[in-house]
Chains A and B, each alone.
Chain A
Amino acid sequence: EVQLVESGGGLVKPGGSLKLSCAASGFTFSNAWMSWVRQAPGKGLEWVGRIKAKTDGGTADYIAPVKGRFTISRDDSKNTLYLQMNSLKTEDTAVYYCITNPYYEIYWGQGTLVTVSS
């Protein structure tokens, strides 16, 4: 059974940093492309970025509002995906989800709340 479990969310001041983790199980993590998705309060779903499997180059892509501030990485030995968030802004307040499609079906974690506020 595919499982994704996010952690690391919390309250942080504007300009601060936070690192989210997503622990994966139930599939071959090293072969999977992984994405982060967020949803701000009362807003729609927003894809944040994605990291490819190392066999596909292992590169990450991001949406414009987070480029240069957020970094997606992976540790295939730990089956874990990360999202390092720096220079956080109030508009980054959202529930953050990790998602993947190791086969064709898409799986989501339960989400972790990030609140950026002074």
Chain B
Amino acid sequence: DTGVSQDPRHKITKRGQNVTFRCDPISEHNRLYWYRQTLGQGPEFLTYFQNEAQLEKSRLLSDRFSAERPKGSFSTLEIQRTEQGDSAMYLCASSLSLGAGLTDTQYFGPGTRLTVL
């Protein structure tokens, strides 16, 4: 178990550029989550996948954001036409679903810090 990994750890970009982040979950985990965290706040849910299916998206997730998990393993989060307000830490978490009606424990990666200039 190597834990959840994220790449890159830091990204600086200019406003209007597109960026893509990658998350590799714990290998046997079937759920994968994306969160955004700004300074002094807890994480805000963005979206989650069960295997390759994207099951839920937050209202916070504008149409400039898209996430994929094509083979049910790693996931990518893309932000198009970045804005300064997108500057934040983007966190990925994974979990092993215990079945319908049961919650599971999420394990987090180190995050990708995005700075939009």
Q: Do A and B bind each other?
A: no
Binding site for B on A (CB under 8 A): none
Binding site for A on B (CB under 8 A): none
